[in-house]
Amino acid sequence: MTPEAVILPRDLPLWRDALPYLDVRNNDAHTVVAYGLARMLLEQTPGADESVVLPAILLHDVGWKRIDPDLLLLAIGRNPTRKDLVRDHEVFGAEIARDILLRHRPEGVDIDAVLAIIDGHDTTREARSLNDAVVKDADKGWRATPHGMKTISGWYDTDILETVETLERVSNPHMLTPAGRAFAEGMCAAVRAEAQIDHYMRMKSDA
């Protein structure tokens, strides 16, 4: 069975142009998963505009390409010392995204609205619009996906349950949409339960 394509045909030219900028910090795979998550959140968030949200999530992290890769974990680690780099990647990202969007001018896409979301998607915690909230939740919600948890655990050499504890304390409370919060909390609850499967299965032999 062939799976349904995650990225819409309208956005494929944007994706192809974005790829050379996404080969740092696992951003290429992160973007595919976040895009799929954004599509789900759009279905659960009446009033959000997919023609703004999807191009924005597809291009939101292209600016990391212009940041020194040796400094990345200083910007995003548990105790970041270079938060200025987070802002820098937004500014660079908006510049790169503008070039890509103007090159293709995808039909029905409000380019200025997309760029406004990219320019601030990490450094503004509160949602500036419903579309911004969905993009933020898709971006941060990636952390609670299987791919996100595995990637984060690899970055910091922690086990999955430690990652879950961090998400529940630091990330999940800042999800902005009901669907985003439910997704992140549900994924963390499922991973916690999965970690206890063997414990409960052993009770069959004790019965």
The DSSP result for 133-179, as a single string, is HHHHHHHHHGGGSHHHHHHHHHHHT--HHHHHHHIIIIIGGG--SHH
Q: Which pLDDT belongs to residue 80?
A: 75
pTM above 0.85, yes or no: yes
Residue 45, class by beta-carbon neighbours within 10 Å (0-12 exposed, 13-18 middle, 19+ buried)? buried
By CB atoms closer than 10 A (0-12, 13-18, 19+), residue 201 is: exposed
Q: b/e for 1-24, b at 16 or more Cβ within 10 A?
A: eeeeeebbebbeebbebbeebbeb
> What is the mean pLDDT of each successive set of 10 residues along the chain, which is 207 residues long?
87 98 94 98 98 98 92 75 88 98 97 97 94 98 96 90 94 96 97 92 76
The two tokens of residue 32 are 């595919």
The pLDDT value recorded for residue 137 is: 98
Task: Please say whether the beta carbons of 159 and 194 come within 8 A.
Answer: no
Q: According to the model, what pLDDT value does residue 190 have?
A: 96
Asked if 55 and 109 touch (Cβ cutoff 8 Å), the reply is yes
Domains within the chain, CATH numbers bracketed? 9-206 (1.10.3210.10)
CA atoms within 13 A on the CB side of 187: 24
